[in-house]
Amino acid sequence: MIDEKILAQMNGEYVMPPDAGPAWRAAYEAGIDVSLIEVNLQKTPWERLLANDAALALIRVLENAKSPNPGA
Amino acid sequence: MDQLTEILRQLHDANVEFSLIGGFASRYYGVTLVTEDVDVCARFTPQNLRRIENAVKEYNPFHRLAANKLPLELTDELCSRLKNLYLKTDIGILDCLSEVAGIGDFNAVIQQSQKVSFPFGDCYILKIEALIRAKQAVGRQHDLIAVQQLSAIKDRLDQQPELKFRS
């Protein structure tokens, strides 16, 4: 029997940390995916900057793919 | 190809006096928004401007907001009159500002910055509280989203100080 709470979390329900402060709660209430910030906070600052470089590279690939002359 | 971390490394290696601000600084603290440029506040002395020029010279820098995309070729006159440098290079966009909204000039920015370690060495970065104030002062929609995230991150760091010491 699957626990209903766990199932809800598996389906995307965010579990607010009990010690979350007002700004964290406000960001969540405003619709910001704070779980992604949590993932970022587990990285080192340098890893966060490298992830930005990687994201930009992917954006350029996608921009190039949708242009009329890919690779041009 | 954009390599914003490489821009940072080049500025460091060329001994540019600067503090990291803007979206890349926000990324440093954990904001999830992807940024397309490196924003720094730099000391706008002729010597420091020449260091910036040296840092990016091999990447074909040009004044990206100038109508005719003038290449970066500093002269004494230009050094004395520039307040900002908006550059596009082969490895990404670098915007250098002499002052920051909500904070002040380079000296004020440095006073509200902290030294942090990167694989290539130490750099100054605007403290998270000051970065929040700077982004509030600019007030564009995406700045306010960043403010919300930075405020949440500050909350989290206050609750879990051990996260501050990841490097």
The three-state (H, E, C) secondary structure of chain B, written as one string: CCCHHHHHHHHHHCCCCEEEEHHHHHHHHCCCCCCCEEEEEECCCHHHHHHHHHHHHHHCCEECCCCCCCECCCCHHHHHHCCEEEEEECCEEEEEECEECCCEEHHHHHHCEEEEEECCEEEEEECHHHHHHHHHHHCCHHHHHHHHHHHHHHHHHHHCHHHHHCC
Tell me the backbone φ, ψ of residue A19, rounded to 5 degrees. Answer: -95, 10
Interface contact A56, partner B, CB < 8 A: yes
Planar angle of CA A71, B1, B4, nearest 5 degrees: 155
Task: Note whether A21 and A7 are same-domain residues.
Answer: yes
For B24, nearest residue in chain A (alpha carbons): A49
pLDDT of residue B165: 58
Does residue A70 surpass a pLDDT of 80? no
Q: A7-11, A23-27, B8-12, B152-156 — which is least confidently predicted?
A: A7-11
Please count the structural domains in chain A. 2
Number of separate helices (H) and strands (E) present in chain A: 4, 0
| DSSP three-state, residue A71 | coil
For residue A13, give how far its alpha carbon lies from the nearest alpha carbon of chain B (Å).
19
Task: Note whether A23 and A41 are same-domain residues.
Answer: no
pLDDT of residue B167: 60
Task: Note whether A37 and A50 are same-domain residues.
Answer: yes
pLDDT of residue A11: 86
pLDDT of residue A56: 94
Does residue B10 surpass a pLDDT of 70? yes
For residue B80, give how far its alpha carbon lies from the nearest alpha carbon of chain A (Å).
33
Task: Note whether A26 and A44 are same-domain residues.
Answer: no
Read off the pLDDT of each residue in A4-33 and give the average, rounded to a whole number. 91
**Cβ–Cβ gap A20/B159 under 8 Å:** yes
For B118, nearest residue in chain A (alpha carbons): A46
**In terms of residue numbers, what domain contains A66?**
33-72
Break chain B into its structural domains and give their ranges. Answer: 4-165
Amino acid letter, residue B85: L
| Beta carbons within 8 Å of B64's beta carbon, 6+ residues apart | B86, B87, B88, B93
Interface contact B45, partner A, CB < 8 A: no
Nearest to B2 among A49, A51, A60 (CB): A60
CATH class for domain B4-165? alpha beta
pLDDT of residue A10: 86
Task: Note whether A26 and A46 are same-domain residues.
Answer: no
Interface contact B90, partner A, CB < 8 A: no
ipTM for the predicted complex: 0.90
pLDDT of residue A71: 59
Amino acid letter, residue B112: Q
| DSSP three-state, residue A7 | helix
State chain B's mean pLDDT as an integer: 95
Task: Note whether A23 and A57 are same-domain residues.
Answer: no
Which 3-state string (H, E, C) describes B19-49? EEEHHHHHHHHCCCCCCCEEEEEECCCHHHH
pLDDT of residue A67: 75
**Cβ–Cβ gap A56/B153 under 8 Å:** no
Does residue A72 surpass a pLDDT of 60? no
Task: Note whether A48 and A19 are same-domain residues.
Answer: no
Task: Note whether A13 and A38 are same-domain residues.
Answer: no
Interface contact B12, partner A, CB < 8 A: no
Nearest to B149 among A21, A32, A60 (CB): A32
For residue A38, give how far its alpha carbon lies from the nearest alpha carbon of chain B (Å).
8
Task: Note whether A67 and A44 are same-domain residues.
Answer: yes
Task: Write down the pTM of the prediction.
Answer: 0.91
Q: Which two tokens stand for residue B54?
A: 């040296």
